[in-house]
Chains A and B, each alone.
Chain A
Amino acid sequence: METFPHQPRRRHCQKRAFKYLSFMAFLSALTVPAAICAKPILAEPLLDGGKLVLTNGVSSVEGASGGGLATWATIAGMGTDRAIGVSGHVTGIALPDYGWQSHGIAIGILDRVEISYARQNFDTRKVGLALGLGEGFRFNQDIFGAKVRLAGDIVYGSPIVPQVTLGIQHKRSLDAAIVRAVGAGSAHGTDFTISATKLFLANSVLVNATARLTNANQFGLLGFGGGQGASRSVQFEGSLAYMLSPRLVVGGEYRTRPNNLMIAHEDNAHDVFVAWAFTRNATVTAAYADVGSVATFDGQRGALVSLQLAF
């Protein structure tokens, strides 16, 4: 009895259900226990919402869960290892010469696998006119991502072994003719990531390190590969965050990027952010992001605001 606390209630319900079945054989077996037991024993929910708040990360601009700029080893959604989780995000970045917007969804399965999709829309505003594309021309791309957790846990287990995930992001520019015209080798490409993330509870510090094999120009918005190099190179994404409360985190990120195009150089990106889970299921992230030079226009730094809903 001590070891099976659920059983007395369950037995009671089954006994009553059996008695009623003889009277109500025309009702399905499923509806009878539900009608008779005041507190029916329900199957475990598909969405259990059981993760600790913020341990699912926020949504990166590429749709994968993580920080704002970097992909982390987190699995999206609030589901634990016996359930699935889902999340959706909308992100806007206001840069001096550009507007950048992304939205997408992600599904976490058994806290093991993450599948994500994001659409990025990059508004060139007046720069579009200068580049001969027309004012307000938008570069768009779709990003299909998947991650699998190989080992470890962000919070539990060994205090020093991180959660490690292997990821893939397939990016498809929707402006094939134009990205080739600016010198990109291809309008679509695939990034491979390996991420390690750990919350060092004793210090309230979260650390992430990601290595990304990529040949994307401006995250893929300007295509893949180019005159200065078509093959993939290893790039680094690092994040450091401090937990102020269970629902409030501040931190910074750094992300190196390849430099493939002849016409425009690319800088490393960095940001400082604050993420606040104002409910269990909703997180707002505000950041000051610096992505450097974009399509010959230098000093692109501005505000990032992202809203994520996660279940």
Chain B
Amino acid sequence: MSIFLALALITGQSATPTPQDALPQSAEAIDWDKEFGAEKRVADTVTGELPVDAYVQSEDNVGAKPFQGDALARALGGQAGIKAIVERLVELSKADPRIEAIFQNQDMVRLRRTLFEQICFIANAGCSYTGRDMKAAHKGLGITRADMNALVENLQRAMREQRVPFAAQNRLLAKLAPMERDIQER
């Protein structure tokens, strides 16, 4: 065992300063976007959002029937409360080892905006939803049931920290839960 360790150490040391590493061919220097023909997207100078493929804007894209009264909107703390919940949800999820990889290289500016619009619209807190439908928004992310459950837990925590009563939390979750069929891919 210790011989293997020693060998690994020796070879590891001798590998580092080889001239190969100094060449621009090293993994760090390769522009993988170029190698794979991936298009570099430039953020909008005003919104800070990256461009997305064209889609038809519709409030049907929100994926749920909004509430009628303003009871849930008030329970969530109005638009300010919803904004704080979304900020916290994104913050928790980006730091959550279970799902942080999903958010890497994603447009977090756009995510924060559309997520806020979505919850605000569903809660009837005075917003319109301008984002994509759930299927298009989650396409290719490979989201599993465990990923969704992790996000639900983070949302529950964000709402709890905003002192949203548990029954009201569940009323919102009841609107989000059926979206599973468009979000879970594997």
Which listed residue, A3, A27, A81, A200, touches B141 by the CB 8 Å rule? A3
Is B174 a contact of A23 with CB atoms below 8 Å? no
How far is B7's CA from A20's CA once the two chains are assembled, in angstroms? 12
Is B166 a contact of A82 with CB atoms below 8 Å? no
Is A80 a contact of B145 with CB atoms below 8 Å? yes
Is A82 a contact of B144 with CB atoms below 8 Å? yes
Residue numbers in B under 8 Å from A6 (CB-CB): 101, 104
Residue numbers in B under 8 Å from A50 (CB-CB): 98, 144-146, 149-150
Instruction: Tell me, yes or no, whether A156 is within 8 Å of chain B by CB.
Output: yes
Is A52 a contact of B152 with CB atoms below 8 Å? yes
A-facing residues in B1-57 (Cβ within 8 Å): 4, 7-8, 11-12, 14-15, 20, 27, 32-33, 36, 38, 41, 50
Is B8 a contact of A35 with CB atoms below 8 Å? yes
Is A157 a contact of B180 with CB atoms below 8 Å? yes
Is B146 a contact of A80 with CB atoms below 8 Å? yes
Give the Cβ gap from A2 to chain B, nearest Cβ, in Å. Answer: 6
Which listed residue, B11, B50, B103, touches A24 by the CB 8 Å rule? B11
Give the Cβ gap from B151 to chain A, nearest Cβ, in Å. Answer: 11
Instruction: Tell me, yes or no, whether A245 is within 8 Å of chain B by CB.
Output: yes
Is B170 a contact of A202 with CB atoms below 8 Å? yes
Tell me the nearest residue of chain A to B98, going by C-beta.
A50
Give the Cβ gap from B105 to chain A, nearest Cβ, in Å. Answer: 5
How many A-B contacts if CB must be within 8 Å?
A: 104
Among A8-16, A116-124, A218-226, A271-279, the one that faces the other chain is A8-16
Is B166 a contact of A243 with CB atoms below 8 Å? yes
Is A82 a contact of B41 with CB atoms below 8 Å? no
Residue numbers in A under 8 Å from B146 (CB-CB): 48, 50, 80, 82-83
Residue numbers in B under 8 Å from A157 (CB-CB): 177-178, 180-181
Would you give the 0/1 interface string for A33-66, flagging 1 where the beta carbon is closer than 8 Å to chain B? 0010000000000001011100000000000000
Residue numbers in B under 8 Å from A51 (CB-CB): 149
Instruction: Tell me, yes or no, whether A231 is within 8 Å of chain B by CB.
Output: no
A-facing residues in B106-146 (Cβ within 8 Å): 106-107, 139-141, 144-146
Instruction: Tell me, yes or no, whether B171 is within 8 Å of chain A by CB.
Output: yes
Is A82 a contact of B156 with CB atoms below 8 Å? no
Residue numbers in B under 8 Å from A11 (CB-CB): 32
- Using known A-B contacts A243-B170, A246-B156, determine if residue A158 contacts B178 with beta carbons closer than 8 Å: yes
Residue numbers in B under 8 Å from A5 (CB-CB): 101-106, 141
Give the Cβ gap from B86 to chain A, nearest Cβ, in Å. Answer: 19
Give the Cβ gap from A259 to chain B, nearest Cβ, in Å. Answer: 40
How far is B33's CA from A158's CA once the two chains are assembled, in angstroms? 40
> Which 9 A-B pairs have CB atoms at the shortest separation, nearest pair first?
A50-B146, A3-B140, A201-B174, A156-B180, A202-B174, A80-B145, A5-B104, A15-B27, A1-B38
A-B contact pairs, 18 of them (CB 8 A): A2-B105, A2-B107, A3-B139, A5-B105, A8-B32, A23-B15, A50-B98, A111-B145, A155-B177, A156-B177, A156-B178, A157-B177, A200-B174, A201-B173, A201-B177, A204-B166, A243-B170, A244-B166
Q: Which residues of B contact A (CB under 8 A)?
A: 4, 7-8, 11-12, 14-15, 20, 27, 32-33, 36, 38, 41, 50, 98, 101-107, 139-141, 144-146, 148-150, 152-153, 156, 166-167, 170-171, 173-174, 177-178, 180-181, 186
